[in-house]
């Protein structure tokens, strides 16, 4: 499950795009901008591949594919509820000293955002709801063996080609293996992106976590470039990027990492 596929596929996938007509460009640009909105009323299924290294004294490494379906549901004429799932598939090597290889599922994060269908005052888009941590890991070193829950929220604004905002949650553990560390963590994801008329999106964000029990930040800074294309009538977005770990636990990831994402979109009326 090494990420060599990214080197072999990223350039051909991006180069398959052709010059589209003005109307098609507007359509794909619209979809690309919606994809920058975490609570857009549109089904999307991203497969997000990540590489991180520098773990522990053995310079361990981790490859993660996050399967992240986003599914909106209509509550009534004014409100949607947006389901966002993160299910990690992990291959890792010596992340806890000479701990060997592990492969399997990690723990799942499931969030629900209750969001107004129309932007609020000043064009602000927002959503709030619960987030849950589910102990779905198939190996002790792939998860925390804890059940958790807490609040989550997102606020953003889309103005012209720009999207900017932040997503956050806080999760406390309430059940699970008593021998494992409790979960008391805040996740913060400020984000900024710019979408061009021909559906390129340039983005920067952090996916920071603060562990309150350990008084420790993990702060990866991500820089990404995405292109949305259509295969026949199927919209697909391809994203490539790098990340830098500005802060991490003593035995956590270090230095530079990489990201590659394929997202399938299923807009209404398709």
pLDDT tens digits for range 31-52: 999 999 999 999 999 999 999 9
Q: Is residue 96 pLDDT above 90, yes or no?
A: no
**Predicted local confidence at residue 12, as pLDDT:** 42
Report the percentage of the chain scoring pLDDT > 90: 81
**Predicted local confidence at residue 13, as pLDDT:** 43
Residue whose C-alpha is closest to residue 183's, from 233, 257, 133: 133
Q: Which of 20-24, 119-123, 144-148 has the highest mean pLDDT?
A: 144-148
Tell me the mean pLDDT in the region 139-151. 95
Overall number of domains in the chain: 1
Q: Is residue 1 pLDDT above 50, yes or no?
A: no
In this prediction the pTM is 0.86
CA angle 123, 124, 130 (to 5 degrees): 150
pLDDT band at residue 58 using 50, 70 and 90 as cut-offs: confident
**Predicted local confidence at residue 251, as pLDDT:** 87
Instruction: Give the β-pairing of 200-206 and 216-231.
Output: antiparallel
Q: Is residue 11 pLDDT above 90, yes or no?
A: no
Residue 32 Cα distances to 20, 44, 139, 232, 250, angstroms: 15, 11, 37, 17, 38
Tell me the mean pLDDT in the region 233-244. 96
Q: Is residue 270 pLDDT above 60, yes or no?
A: no
**Predicted local confidence at residue 268, as pLDDT:** 73
Domain limits at 231? 4-266
35-39, 56-60, 61-65, range with the lowest pLDDT: 56-60
Task: List Cβ neighbours of 202 (8 Å cut-off, separation of 6 or more).
Answer: 193, 194, 224, 225, 226
Q: Is residue 159 pLDDT above 80, yes or no?
A: yes
Q: How far apart are CA 22 and CA 89, in angstroms?
A: 39
**Predicted local confidence at residue 250, as pLDDT:** 87
Task: List Cβ neighbours of 199 (8 Å cut-off, separation of 6 or more).
Answer: 25, 28, 29, 31, 32, 227, 228, 229
Helices (H), the chain: 4-15, 22-35
The beta strand positions in 94-183, using DSSP E, are 101-105, 108-116, 124-134, 146-159, 162-176
Tell me the mean pLDDT in the region 160-188. 96
Mean pLDDT, the chain, integer: 89
Q: How far apart are CA 72 and CA 127, in angstroms?
A: 12
Tell me the mean pLDDT in the region 13-34. 57
Q: Is residue 18 pLDDT above 70, yes or no?
A: no
CATH of the domain at 113: 2.40.160.40
């Amino acid at each position: 499950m090494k990420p060599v596929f990214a080197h072999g596929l990223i350039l051909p996938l991006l180069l398959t795009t052709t010059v589209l007509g003005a109307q098609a460009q507007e359509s794909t640009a619209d979809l690309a901008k919606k994809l920058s909105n975490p609570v857009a009323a549109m089904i999307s299924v991203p497969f997000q591949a990540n590489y991180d290294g520098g773990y522990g004294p053995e310079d361990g490494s981790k490859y993660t594919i996050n399967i992240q379906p986003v599914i909106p549901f209509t509550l009534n004429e004014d409100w949607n509820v947006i389901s966002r799932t993160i299910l990690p598939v992990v291959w890792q090597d010596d992340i806890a000293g000479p701990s060997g290889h592990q492969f399997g599922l990690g723990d799942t994060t499931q969030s629900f955002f209750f969001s107004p269908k129309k932007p609020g005052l000043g064009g602000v888009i927002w959503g709030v709801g619960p987030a849950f941590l589910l102990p779905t890991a198939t190996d002790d070193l792939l998860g925390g063996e804890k059940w958790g829950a807490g609040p989550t929220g997102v606020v953003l604004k889309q103005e012209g080609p720009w999207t900017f905002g932040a997503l956050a949650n806080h999760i406390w553990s309430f059940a699970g293996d008593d021998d494992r560390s409790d979960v008391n963590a805040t996740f913060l994801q400020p984000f900024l992106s710019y979408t061009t008329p021909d559906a390129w999106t340039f983005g920067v964000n952090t996916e920071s976590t603060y562990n309150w029990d350990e008084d420790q930040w993990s702060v990866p800074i991500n820089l990404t470039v995405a292109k949305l294309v259509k295969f026949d009538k199927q919209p697909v977005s391809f994203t490539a990027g790098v990340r830098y770990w500005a802060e991490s636990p003593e035995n956590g990831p270090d230095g530079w990492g990489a990201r590659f994402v394929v997202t399938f979109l299923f807009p209404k009326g398709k």
